[in-house]
Structure 1
Amino acid sequence: MPSPSPSELAADTFVKAWATGSWLTSPEDYPEAPPNVVELYQTYLAMQVHPLAESELGGLGGYKLGAVGAEGETCLYAPLFKKFLVRASSGDGEAEMSSGAIQMFNVEAEIGMVIGADLSARSDGEPLTSEDVWVAVQSVVPCIECCGRRATAEVAGAQPTALGKFADCLSAGGVIFGEAVPSQSFSDAASVLASCSTALQVNGDEVASGSGAACPLGGPVQALVWLANHLISRGLMLQKGQLVITGMTCKSTSFKVGDAIAATFSSLPRVDMTVAS
């Protein structure tokens, strides 16, 4: 049996820490930074196919986009795991995300897309167009991303390179997603969602605001098209049932356990959550 690659070793460390809650408390425990973006994506792939990712984290549930412009890239993206994708309650209390289970340190208002059909490569070899991608979108969902980490704040903050920080699944944690709006409800989704104004509230007080224009390439639909094509370039693809959160529109670290957090959107329903212990 061949020896594990550096990407596989890093993925093993991160996934085991996440699955067991045994966080990385020493700089010596933290994996060596990937040397480039190609190896970064190899680490993410090794995480999403790790046996514990399926048995303990619920398996691959979709992707998050972030780090716009980092490392000379349009953006970066990393896997989301099903165990931490939580549908917001409807009428019987707010959804909860356990801060301790993901070491939650940041929340973001994001626009999500639920994929309704596999998005494989075009038969003519051309890149997928906006029309190709949008026809495969089942619905748009308002989201609160709950960013997490597998190391303590001190160890994560001590990483000397951006790639070293990004290697921890691009700070993936969990997502609270709200009421789905069918994709056919939008006559010009790219424009409407790019101009969608957003805000975050903590215990009823607004703490941040933004818009869909903050997403990679200027909007959620544009970001999704880029992701679909980038995955194909790696021999992967978006699949039916996956959730894609298309990038931060606004964020806040001003919360604690017990706080009520809401994200509002001018073109989508509101979504609410409570920060659990």
Structure 2
Amino acid sequence: MNISVDDARIKAKALYEARATGRPVPPLTDENPALDMRDGYAVQRELVALLTGAGDRVVGYKAGLTSAPMQELFGVDTPDYGPVLASTVYDDGATTPGDAFIAPKVEAEIVFRLGSPLKGPGVTVAEARRAVAEVMAGLEIVDSRIEDWRIRLADTIADLASNGAVVLGPPVVLPEDCDVRLIGMAFSRNGELVATGAGAAALGDPAAVVAWLANVLGEHGVTLEAGQLIMTGALHAAVAMRPGDRFVAEFDRLGTVTLHVGDA
């Protein structure tokens, strides 16, 4: 690791203030290009401590870089993760303020809610499937507190894996024989189809994302708890979000989830 605890806290404070003010900060890796994944998580932990200390709470986790093209872009062979905070969860059909984010984009993805806890290491994909109680159509607003999205791996990890907010469709209980890999999705902005995808885009199987998260977090003594949300990763390339936009993701089996963006 290339960062001290004090330096991690300084960087976390800068990101915390960027979230509060809407003014992005230069990439952390500009000052120290050697920052790696472990350094990013060290900053992330300090940032989460600041946010929860101010009254927010962790209600789940998101996985990022779950597709092969995104992993190739960042030169890694594994996803990354960040917390989902209670203050960032919206219901289906919600309107988000047009100026609530810095440089937002929107992604459609499959979201799970756990019915039983999972703690790694050693969690299998089959065990992850059995732990899922509900499945939801989801929209993630990804946002970067780093200037102009000039992010390297350590930057996005430190910045809560670039998580901005999530919009959740109604929960669905799927039959045991439903293959979530094959759930298809059509994504529209302002009535125009802009992307399509399927569950298999997320690490080959969204349930594999749950198992991966349980095992990685388990190495740090963290358990995925019953009731927590698991965002399994984008099914397509992110689409820019602008004031006044209306986004709709239509999923096979899961129904529709809609996001309205307020005027600036």
What's the TM-score bracket when you normalise by the shorter of the two chains?
A: 0.7 to 0.9
Q: Secondary structure at the match of 2:255?
A: coil
Partner of 1:164: 155
1:187 corresponds to 2:191: no
1:111-144 per-residue CA deviation (whole Å, 9 max, x = no partner) reads 00112232234xxxx6012232233222111100
Partner of 1:91: none
1:230 corresponds to 2:216: yes
Partner of 1:148: 143
In the TM superposition, what is the alpha-carbon distance from 1:99 to its structure 2 partner?
4.0
Q: How many residues align?
A: 254
In the TM superposition, what is the alpha-carbon distance from 1:28 to its structure 2 partner?
8.7
| Aligned residue runs from structure 1 range 111-260, under 5 A | 111-121=110-120, 127-153=122-148, 156-157=149-150, 161-182=152-173, 185-189=174-178, 192-216=179-203, 218-260=204-246
Q: Which has the higher contact order (CA 8 A, sep 6+)?
A: 2
Whether the aligned pair in 1 keeps the contact of 2:119 and 2:215 (CA below 8 Å) is no
1:85-132 per-residue CA deviation (whole Å, 9 max, x = no partner) reads 1121xxxxx2122342232421101000112232234xxxx6012232
Go from structure 1 to structure 2 and tell me whether the alpha carbon gap of 1:187 and 1:46 turns closer, same or farther (over 3 Å shift): same
Unmatched tracts of structure 1, length 5 or more:
89-93
- How large is the Cα RMSD of the aligned pairs? 2.5
In the TM superposition, what is the alpha-carbon distance from 1:253 to its structure 2 partner?
2.5
193-202 vs 68-77, greater mean Cα deviation = 68-77
Q: TM-score, normalised by structure 1?
A: 0.82
Go from structure 1 to structure 2 and tell me whether the alpha carbon gap of 1:29 and 1:194 turns closer, same or farther (over 3 Å shift): closer
In the TM superposition, what is the alpha-carbon distance from 1:236 to its structure 2 partner?
1.2
Unmatched tracts of structure 2, length 5 or more:
none
**Match for 2:233: what amino acid?**
G
1:60 corresponds to 2:58: yes
Go from structure 1 to structure 2 and tell me whether the alpha carbon gap of 1:111 and 1:213 turns closer, same or farther (over 3 Å shift): same
1:85 corresponds to 2:76: no
1:17-53 per-residue CA deviation (whole Å, 9 max, x = no partner) reads 21x2241355699875662212222222222222x34
Whole-Å Cα distance in 2 between the matches of residues 142 and 113 of structure 1? Answer: 9
Go from structure 1 to structure 2 and tell me whether the alpha carbon gap of 1:49 and 1:34 turns closer, same or farther (over 3 Å shift): farther
Partner of 1:24: 24
133-142 vs 32-41, greater mean Cα deviation = 32-41
Partner of 1:13: 14
Partner of 1:105: 104
Whether the aligned pair in 1 keeps the contact of 2:14 and 2:25 (CA below 8 Å) is no
